[in-house]
Amino acid sequence: MQQYNFKNNILNLKVKKSPILVRAVMFGLAFSFFVFPVLGTLVGILTGNGLQFGYFVAIGIFSLIGFYLLRVSLWNTYGEETIEILENKIIYEANYGWFKDGKKEMTIIVPEYSFKPAGYEEDNEGVLVITSKESQIESVIKMPMKELEALLVVLKPVINS
């Protein structure tokens, strides 16, 4: 499966999905971190303990953890990066399937495309790096080195235009 698609100066990089069992456990944990504190609060109130400040603290903390787990789960299922290469700038956006991160813009004159190794050495994977004199955008999506080399060949005409 090819993890990138380049059309009309828009580069889409897709995450390789994690195994279904791992995703099911992650979504289950995320759901649990949202639901169980609320259920615990309701049980506490219904058993006569009243509404206590600690319930709100627990709901807040566990909701933050649940949101983080949901975000990781969505990234491992639907994760995609969109890099739009315009004449004088590059626009980067991470898409989690259910929501998107804020767009990051980088002003460029002559972009330089490269890759660097990521993860374990024996995995032979890396990430795309786009640099300009002032700033740098580094992809989060790991791809096989051979696929990154093929991507650089596709991006090379963009450099020369």
Q: What average pLDDT does this structure show over 80-85?
A: 88
Residue 153 inside a domain? The answer is yes
Cα–Cα distance between 137 and 89 in angstroms, integer? 12
Residue 33 has a pLDDT of 93
Domain containing 155 equals: 85-160
Question: What would the pLDDT profile of 10-30 be if each residue is shown by its tens digit?
Answer: 888 898 888 999 999 999 999
DSSP three-state, residue 39: helix
Percent of all residues in the chain with a pLDDT value above 70, rounded to a whole number: 96
Residue 48 inside a domain? The answer is no
Question: What would the pLDDT profile of 93-122 be if each residue is shown by its tens digit?
Answer: 888 888 888 788 888 777 788 888 887 888
107 with 131: CB under 8 angstroms? no
Residue 117 inside a domain? The answer is yes
Question: Is pLDDT at 160 greater than 60 in this prediction?
Answer: no
Residue 65 inside a domain? The answer is no
Q: What average pLDDT does this structure show over 51-55?
A: 85
Residue 24 inside a domain? The answer is no
- β-pairing, 89-95 vs 80-85, is antiparallel
Q: What average pLDDT does this structure show over 75-94?
A: 87
Question: Is pLDDT at 161 greater than 60 in this prediction?
Answer: no
What is Dmax (Cα atoms) for the chain? 72
Transcribe 99-133 into DSSP letters: -BPPPEEEE-SS-EEEEEEES-GGGTEEEEEEE-S
Residue 127 inside a domain? The answer is yes
Residue 1 has a pLDDT of 65
Cα–Cα distance between 37 and 57 in angstroms, integer? 10
Residue 76 inside a domain? The answer is no
Q: What is the total count of domains within the chain? A: 1
For the chain, what is the mean pLDDT?
85
Residue 157 has a pLDDT of 61
Residue 73 inside a domain? The answer is no
